[in-house]
Structure 1
Amino acid sequence: MGFLAGRNVLVAGAGVTGRSAAEALLAAGASVVVTDGSADRLEALEPLLPGVALVPGLVAPPAEAELVVTSPGWRPDSPLLLAAEAAGVEVIGEVELAWRMGLELADAPAWLAVTGTNGKTTTVGMLESVLRAAGIDAVACGNVGLPVVDALLAGHRVLAVELSSFQLHWSPSVRPAAGVLLNLAEDHLDWHGSFEEYAAAKAGVLTGEVAVAGVDDPFVARLLSSSPAAAHVGFTLGAPEEGQLGVVDGNLVDRAFGPDAVLAAVAEVRPGGPPGLADAMAAAALARSQGVPPEAVRQGLRDFRPGAHRAEFVAESDGVRYVNDSKATNPHAAEASLRSHRSVVWVAGGLLKGASVDELVRSEGHRLRGAVLIGADREAIASALARYAPSVPVAVLDDATMEDAVRAARSMARSGDAVVLAPAAASMDMFSDYAHRGKAFADAVVAMVGAGGRS
């Protein structure tokens, strides 16, 4: 890549994203240094990145550095990134790097970008399935796991890009062919500093040619209306107006892209319920913006299978269902999860990241049989329950394992209830990630009720 050849670039972070960025930079002819707070992570990279300098714990860029490519989790107030800014060295993320590299390709792929507080991974999975049903060489990438720079260099024709608020913060010039903002609720306030800053980062996805958003949320609808995109498309769980997608007589209907078209039956969408339908319409809108016909949308949604740890049935015993929704890592996601059940024993807790659970408890407290709280911010959730659902039995477990939590939940549950792990919080206080947490829950359930409890 011409703009990278011969440049001195510092990569901040030695995880999956950092490694992919470093490999792409090397291939483009840059001189690369990688830094990380973990000497072990750097050591693991040594045999994989010959020709790269690996330097632990840098708090300022090397004097010769002309560009810093940061992993998305590095906060803007990290000493290294502050020092780069003070020295006039540009800081970008791996997504921005991929975008700039794509601009130099003669036949660059189309970017279809997805963000929101919840539903991103489901939506990009649906989108990938729909695009492939239409015969398009497409891949889901970004925050879903595959670095965007890897997807770009693999030569795919369409990139279904999941973007976190962190990635959008570090991607100032990305302008997707079409982008969707699914929803917004408090999340990552400890990283962004305020809800306004978080929302501003998310709104970056609406700066391309076609902007799509969930207009049932008035705040999101306002962000869509103020978008600089040439075309604005809304989706709603109600009947759609002209220029929207929505639900009519049990069908998903498109009134935005050409003549009115039925895209799929509500009953064909998995996961079901309002969140799944919203995600399906978002994916459909992005695909339709690229000319995908209605029949491919329907086939792609039929073919799609939700990922693990998202409203995943684990077992049933004595009339009690056990559901793993470990991916509900913030209050907004947990609220949607609880709303899918009539009577719930809620297993929750972890790192709230500055978010409040008050609205969640206010709106869904009536369906709680009980609550079992674990993790660093368990007392904050207990306080909200005491204020807004004081009649709900609560077990606050100190220094507890997931086995302890499942046993406590079982003791509260009655036939017809669902024991739901919907933590409303991040997992890193007790687990390596949400998948580790979900597996611990599923393993504890199976150990308690027996493998015969699975269906």
Structure 2
Amino acid sequence: MTSAEPSEFQGKHITVAGLGVSGISAARALAGLGASVTVVDGGDSEAHRERAVPLEKDGISVRLGDAVTLPEGTDLVVTSPGWKPESPLFAAAAQAGVDVVGDVEIAWRLRGPDAAAWLAITGTNGKTTTTQMLASILRAAGLRTAAVGNIGTPIIDVILGEETHDVLAVELSSYQLHWAPSLRAHSAAVLNLAPDHLDWHGSMEAYAADKGRIYEGNQVACVYNVADRATENLVREADVEEGCRAIGFTLGTPGPSELGVVDGILVDRAFVADRQKQAQELAEVSDVNPPAPHNIANALAAAALARAYGVEPAAVRDGLRNFQPDAHRIAHVADVAGVAYIDDSKATNTHAAEASLAAYESIVWIAGGLAKGATFDELVQKSAKRLRGAVLIGADRALIREALARHAPEVPVVDLERTDTGAMSAAVQEAARLAEPGDTVLMAPACASMDMFTNYNKRGEAFADAVRALGAERP
């Protein structure tokens, strides 16, 4: 894309906070636009020093081991998403009258006069899947697009890259939205809201407010979840351009200005000539992969954004059919002895696990890990009738065991005290013992993975390996 005139950054002294992927991307881009850049990071490991070397060769200063002191003469601080608002570096910036923004804000400012439209997506769960679905639909419509933001290539690199785009599918985290005050999307969606990252935001209210920033200045559509009143409230509170519409999505029959489901068909009553009397068929539920309820909701949100951009119904259908979900997102691993084994390692919080559990009728649930301050009573209450049994792993498994004892005392529970990576193989063996033909063994941990695994991908791989080993034993 053609960037905007670099005069805003030319000759400025810019401090980049964080030596991660987005920080390195921002540092290189800003240096290339004529800024004097210093990258600061509190770490000083061998890995940090290795990442610093190529930057220093390009004339970018790197200061390791000090994430507190604001470099002298700083005109602007560009932060990586994970840095908390109360970080001492930012307090020093505020005292000096220096603004703090994120890489998404820089990308927004760098758009050229013929820049691609942004269709933006946030929510506690489902962001990545919905963003990828949207990109697939846009491609099916013949549009030049990419899924960017909190996913894939750093967004600054896409904005400054040589490839031309018509429209971008932009996934945005609450962190990124917090640091992007100028963002004004063509249309945007908040998929859902549930407590998450409260240690970063400080409260649910602050978390929701940052999510709601995605609606500010929307031009065409603010897409919300009819089943989640909090998302509609964010639309009501947003300051949007005149004529921008509130568009709901629902798993039920849609009302006017909504997308929903009727007799296994995804239908549109928002972007039709007569919303009171007309409904446009978009796709069949079977076109959604996998057709679990929460994933159908994702598909409806993606369809709403695509339709807001003017995409024809056939492209919505074709894009959904073409879409292949990432690994470890409610992925079917194998059937062994009449039991289905499903990997949803990406379900790292209770909200995601609840959606996953709602997709199956009779479940042996593998759960546990790092709870991150979560409680499990509501999750167990809502899911108890579906549970054949539960196998618990990880550091905070006692919290889930206690919730099961309170709300599902009849459900047999296996509590694995092991927290080594080999515990997953034992968990699968125990789940197989509890399961009966027709059941689903669902690994939807409702917890983070770092107590036992490098990340949720490694946890999912361990589950899949254990299932395949089980299949070899029990063909």
TM-score, with normalisation over the residues of structure 2?
A: 0.91
> Aligned runs of 1:441-452 on 2, under 5 Å?
441-450=463-472
CA contact (8 A) 2:12 2:35 kept: yes
CA deviation digits over 1:421-444, x for unaligned, max 9? 101122223222211211121122
Distance 1:451 1:153, change over 3 A: farther
Distance 1:145 1:427, change over 3 A: farther
Residue aligned with 1:253, SS = strand
C-alpha RMSD over aligned residues: 1.8
Question: Counterpart of 2:179?
Answer: 170
- Work out whether 1:54 is the aligned partner of 2:62: yes
Gaps of 5+ in 2: 1-5, 274-278
Question: Counterpart of 2:226?
Answer: 215
Question: Counterpart of 2:252?
Answer: 238
CA contact (8 A) 1:178 1:211 kept: yes
Residue aligned with 1:138, SS = coil
Question: Counterpart of 2:382?
Answer: 363
Structure 2: how far apart are the matches of 1:15 and 1:141? 17
1:18 to 15, 23, 41: 23
> Aligned runs of 1:227-306 on 2, under 5 Å?
227-229=238-240, 230-259=244-273, 260-306=279-325
**Residue identity in the other structure for 1:431:** F
Structure 1: how far apart are the matches of 2:474 and 2:332? 14
Question: Counterpart of 2:139?
Answer: 132
Structure 1: how far apart are the matches of 2:52 and 2:123? 36
Structure 2: how far apart are the matches of 1:277 and 1:341? 14
Structure 2: how far apart are the matches of 1:61 and 1:161? 31
Residue aligned with 2:212, SS = helix
Aligned length: 451
CA contact (8 A) 2:122 2:189 kept: yes
**Residue identity in the other structure for 1:48:** P
CA contact (8 A) 1:344 1:370 kept: yes
CA deviation digits over 1:317-355, x for unaligned, max 9? 222221110111111110111111111111112222223
Question: Counterpart of 1:35?
Answer: 40
> Aligned runs of 1:308-387 on 2, under 5 Å?
308-387=327-406
Residue aligned with 2:400, SS = helix
> Does 314-323 or 160-169 show the bigger shift?
314-323
Cα displacement (A) at 1:382? 1.7
CA deviation digits over 1:52-100, x for unaligned, max 9? 1111122122122121111111112233233333333211111111111
Gaps of 5+ in 1: none
**Residue identity in the other structure for 1:147:** P
**Residue identity in the other structure for 2:62:** L
Question: Counterpart of 1:87?
Answer: 96
Structure 2: how far apart are the matches of 1:170 and 1:366? 42
Structure 2: how far apart are the matches of 1:87 and 1:430? 43
Residue aligned with 1:315, SS = strand
* Matched-pair identity in %: 54
**Residue identity in the other structure for 1:426:** A
**Residue identity in the other structure for 2:201:** H
**Residue identity in the other structure for 1:309:** H
- Work out whether 1:439 is the aligned partner of 2:461: yes
**Residue identity in the other structure for 2:261:** V
- Work out whether 1:106 is the aligned partner of 2:110: no
Cα displacement (A) at 1:47? 4.3
**Residue identity in the other structure for 2:142:** G
Distance 1:360 1:108, change over 3 A: same
Residue aligned with 2:110, SS = helix
Residue aligned with 2:54, SS = coil
> Does 330-339 or 30-39 show the bigger shift?
30-39
Structure 1: how far apart are the matches of 2:92 and 2:441? 48
CA contact (8 A) 1:188 1:355 kept: no
> Does 358-367 or 265-274 show the bigger shift?
265-274
2:105 to 84, 87, 96: 96
CA contact (8 A) 1:32 1:52 kept: yes
Cα displacement (A) at 1:130? 0.6
Structure 1: how far apart are the matches of 2:472 and 2:76? 55
CA contact (8 A) 1:339 1:364 kept: yes
**Residue identity in the other structure for 1:176:** A
CA contact (8 A) 2:187 2:222 kept: yes
CA contact (8 A) 1:8 1:64 kept: yes
Question: Counterpart of 2:435?
Answer: 413
Question: Counterpart of 2:426?
Answer: 404
Distance 1:317 1:257, change over 3 A: same
CA contact (8 A) 1:186 1:356 kept: no
> Does 263-272 or 350-359 show the bigger shift?
350-359
Structure 2: how far apart are the matches of 1:226 and 1:71? 27
TM-score, with normalisation over the residues of structure 1?
A: 0.95
CA contact (8 A) 1:180 1:213 kept: yes
Structure 2: how far apart are the matches of 1:152 and 1:352? 37
CA deviation digits over 1:247-292, x for unaligned, max 9? 1232111111133421111221112022121111111111111111
**Residue identity in the other structure for 2:292:** G
CA contact (8 A) 2:177 2:211 kept: yes
> Does 225-234 or 335-344 show the bigger shift?
225-234
CA contact (8 A) 2:337 2:474 kept: no
CA contact (8 A) 1:189 1:355 kept: no
- Work out whether 1:9 is the aligned partner of 2:14: yes
